[in-house]
């Protein structure tokens, strides 16, 4: 009998532990969102026996301890870029350390301390998968680097959930307000901790001040990537621009902290021209660029390196992978991102000699607001990238393509677009005309901007995940559908006897890419993993569900198999193709932007009333989603009460609402908040909103504790 009782007690204690974790996790924001990544500086703030649990300068305290959304939030959230180091608060012993699988948190570290003779435990949740640096039983010291900040589990963006527990958390210890404990470390002195030098160096990306970029066709083609990598940068770039013409782009009244002269491709330049540029910009920092792919590159680059001015080594990056240069000179989409990131590192750091490492700064595309972060919970891929990979695998299976064929397709899309949907900005260089279909115009290419997309680039007439050319592979409206591109690729693959070929050779043959096969071959490893990960998708999903993946965000930080934007995961999805579904899909692409009062318009996130960073307020997010979903036909006003009076909105009964309907909080004439109803998940009604300061735009539980009214949008 005693044995039975003992077993029963053990079961109860186990269930208590599970319930504690579940209840805590359930109070976290139930949404997967990407971020503008990068790691923190690695500085530790130390006071006596305590260390602030992250870099104080690179982070901010957001959601505090206390009631939240009808529940209780038992910790202090500390938000920062993905990869920011997390430090042990005090000396102690690790009693829990999991990389993944902890409900609510994804991964976590729990450290037990003896503080003034009392048992105190600290909890660190939502770590970046694969970046928990300690194991159960390890002894740690204050300020020790124990994990990296991420967005695993139920989270709206990268942050640390920090708890302080008096007693044993698993046995019902009291979780207290961490703020008084944090205040004991906040005023301390700085020390370097044990974080890596790379953590400190990565802060360079955001230190460049106001930046002007003067460039030629390379910068022009990478305009959106530059604007994303260097927030607030002004790009004055035109095709075939030489140094002399570039000087004319700098006005006497310009006030910039840094001026980047990304020129040199179109003619030999020397020290005199560099000095003249410096004289014109005055006190601003001058950053030059090395060049690649033209006959005078070597001599020009030697001049740059001897100039005495800062520079970023684009030539070194281009030489690492010549395949990123689609015509030997101009980078394609993935190359343009590397170009922009390399420039950003030099601008932030003010010193060019280190820029050949290209940095790891992540960007948010200006195309549709969809974060394009490449770092996530599976092989460094974001939820959006995983959604498109899953779609490619599923389509291949549905077309009865064997495993190797599916690997070739995924490897191709990975190289061509980094598994994103690219629109084309319509910029056509003279060198590109020869390789394009007859009759394709800049205006035709710009039509791609009217369709959902993750990023914008300029590479001949190419668009989409496989960078297929308009007029050769199909028309704009066809090729902006990633499912169509995948089917196109598989159909052409059938004409290639690929069984005896390497992945890179087969991919290059289908694409007609004469830049070499290695650019595709190097993606074979990740392609194999993705094909294996999503094996069976073509059988498990309906045709409609496979198609819906093209607008989905699988949500690597939550459930990569079900997903944040996968319509099959919803209890009440909108019928395919309806306006409501398009509104929800457009809104999902804006996840992760900060709340900014007055921020957002039909073109995307903007600076608000107070300036500063770009983002959305509640009505700004709604008008953006509706504008995208209706292709600009419906432009709502940027004010909550004014939106209720718009002719395109009609009141509906609450019981009749469906995904895509708008919900206004406040009584008639006193509306103060608006959100987009997105359906049910796990039995809970959800909506998409720009909620308030310190909370990123995302999907949250519906709140109906005050008067509310649903409206339906019509075109």
| Average pLDDT of every residue of the chain | 77
Distance between CA 48 and CA 590 in Å, rounded? 43
pLDDT in tens, 214-239: 998 899 888 878 887 888 889 898 87
* In 397-510, beta strands by DSSP E: 422-424, 455-457, 462-463, 468-469
**pLDDT-based confidence at residue 198 (cuts at 50, 70, 90):** very low
Question: What element of type H or E holds 66?
Answer: strand 66-68
**Alpha-carbon span 297 to 311, nearest angstrom:** 15
Residue 521 has pLDDT above 50, yes or no: yes
Which positions ≥6 away from 497 have C-beta within 8 Å?
A: none
Pick from 542, 391, 556: nearest CA to 464: 391
- How far does CA 278 lie from the centroid of its chain? 35
Q: Are 622 and 643 in contact (CB under 8 A)?
A: yes
The pLDDT score that the predictor gives to residue 24 is 44
User: If pLDDT is split at 50, 70 and 90, which confidence band does 156 have?
Assistant: low
Range with the lowest mean pLDDT among 336-350, 441-455, 468-482, 567-581? 567-581
Question: Is pLDDT of 589 > 90?
Answer: no
CA distances for 233 relative to 35, 251, 288, 590, 614, angstroms: 19, 16, 16, 21, 13
Specify the 3-state DSSP secondary structure of 559: coil
Q: Is residue 453 over pLDDT 70?
A: yes
Instruction: Give, for 171, the enclosing helix (H) or strand (E).
Output: none
Structure tokens at 316: 């070194």
Phi, psi of 676 (to 5 degrees): -110, 115
Inter-axis angle of helices 297-306 and 271-281, to 10 degrees? 50
Tell me, what DSSP letter sits at residue 125?
Answer: E
Average pLDDT of the segment spanning 271-290: 90
Residue 368: what pLDDT? 30
pLDDT at 186: 65
Contacts of 317 (CB under 8 A, 6+ apart): 338, 339, 342, 356, 358
Residues 417-428: tens digit of each pLDDT: 888 888 887 777
pLDDT of 503 higher than 80: yes
Q: What is the pLDDT of residues 294-331, one digit of tens each?
A: 888 888 998 998 888 889 999 988 888 776 776 778 88
Predicted pLDDT at 434? 65
* Predicted pLDDT of residue 458: 65
With a cut of 60, say whether residue 28 has pLDDT above it. no
The winner for highest mean pLDDT among 498-512, 564-578, 601-615 is: 498-512
């Amino acid at each position: 009998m005693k044995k039975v009782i003992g077993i029963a007690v053990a079961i109860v204690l186990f269930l208590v532990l599970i319930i504690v974790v579940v209840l805590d996790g359930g109070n976290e924001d139930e949404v997967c969102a990407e971020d503008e990544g990068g790691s923190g500086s690695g500085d530790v703030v130390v006071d006596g026996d305590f260390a602030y649990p992250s870099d104080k300068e690179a982070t901010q305290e957001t959601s505090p301890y206390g009631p939240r959304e009808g529940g209780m939030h038992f910790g202090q959230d500390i938000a920062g870029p993905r990869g920011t180091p997390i430090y042990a608060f005090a000396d102690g012993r690790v009693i829990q350390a999991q990389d993944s699988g902890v409900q609510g948190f994804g991964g976590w570290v729990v450290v037990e301390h003896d503080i003034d003779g009392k048992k105190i435990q600290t909890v660190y949740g939502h770590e970046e998968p694969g970046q928990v640096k300690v194991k159960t039983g390890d002894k740690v010291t204050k300020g020790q680097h124990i994990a990296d900040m991420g967005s695993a589990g139920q989270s709206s963006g990268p942050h640390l959930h920090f708890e302080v527990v008096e007693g044993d958390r698993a046995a019902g210890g009291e979780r207290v307000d961490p703020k008084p404990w944090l205040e004991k470390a906040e005023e301390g002195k700085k020390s370097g901790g044990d974080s890596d030098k790379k953590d400190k160096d990565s802060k360079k990306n955001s230190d460049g001040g106001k930046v002007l970029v003067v460039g030629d066709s390379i910068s022009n083609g990478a305009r959106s990537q530059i604007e994303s990598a260097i927030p607030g940068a002004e790009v004055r770039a035109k095709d075939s621009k030489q140094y002399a013409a570039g000087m004319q782009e700098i006005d006497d009244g310009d006030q910039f902290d840094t001026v980047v002269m990304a020129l040199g491709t179109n003619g030999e330049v020397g020290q005199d021209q560099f000095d003249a540029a410096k004289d014109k910009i005055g006190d601003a920092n001058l950053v030059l660029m090395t060049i690649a792919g033209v006959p005078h590159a070597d001599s020009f680059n030697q001049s740059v390196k001897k100039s005495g001015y800062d520079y970023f080594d684009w030539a070194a990056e281009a030489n690492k992978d010549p395949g990123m240069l689609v015509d030997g000179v101009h980078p394609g989409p993935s190359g343009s991102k590397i170009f922009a990131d390399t420039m950003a590192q030099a601008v932030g750091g003010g010193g060019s000699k280190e820029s050949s490492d290209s940095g790891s700064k992540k960007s948010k595309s200006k195309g549709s607001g969809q974060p394009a972060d490449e770092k996530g919970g599976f092989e460094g891929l974001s939820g959006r990238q995983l959604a498109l990979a899953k779609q490619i695998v599923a389509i291949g299976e549905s077309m009865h393509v064997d495993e190797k064929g599916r690997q070739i397709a995924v490897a191709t899309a990975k190289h061509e677009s980094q598994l994103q949907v690219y629109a084309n900005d319509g910029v056509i260089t003279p060198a590109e005309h020869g390789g394009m279909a007859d009759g394709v115009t800049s205006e035709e290419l710009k039509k791609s901007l009217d369709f959902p997309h993750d990023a914008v680039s300029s590479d001949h007439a190419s668009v989409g995940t496989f960078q297929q050319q308009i007029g050769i592979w199909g028309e704009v409206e066809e090729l902006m559908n990633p499912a169509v591109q995948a089917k196109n690729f598989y159909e052409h693959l059938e004409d290639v006897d690929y069984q005896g070929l390497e992945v890179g050779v087969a991919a290059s043959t289908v694409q007609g890419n004469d830049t070499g096969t290695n650019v595709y071959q190097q993606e074979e490893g990740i392609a194999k993993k993705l094909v294996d990960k999503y094996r069976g998708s073509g059988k498990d999903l309906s045709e409609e569900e496979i198609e819906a993946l093209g607008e989905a965000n699988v949500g690597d930080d939550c459930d990569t198999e079900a997903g944040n934007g996968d319509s099959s995961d919803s209890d009440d999805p909108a019928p395919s193709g309806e306006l409501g579904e398009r509104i929800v899909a457009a809104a999902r692409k804006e996840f992760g932007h900060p709340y900014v009062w007055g921020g957002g318009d039909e073109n995307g996130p903007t600076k608000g009333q107070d300036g500063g960073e770009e983002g959305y307020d509640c009505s700004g997010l709604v008008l953006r989603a509706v504008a995208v979903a209706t292709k600009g036909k419906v432009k709502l006003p940027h004010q909550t009460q004014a939106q209720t009076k718009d002719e395109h909105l009609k009141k509906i009964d609450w019981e009749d609402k469906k995904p895509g309907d708008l919900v206004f909080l406040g009584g008639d004439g006193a509306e103060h908040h608006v959100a987009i109803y997105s359906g049910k998940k796990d039995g809970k009604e959800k909506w998409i909103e720009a909620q308030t300061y310190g909370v990123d735009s995302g999907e949250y539980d519906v709140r109906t504790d005050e008067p509310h009214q649903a409206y339906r949008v019509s075109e």
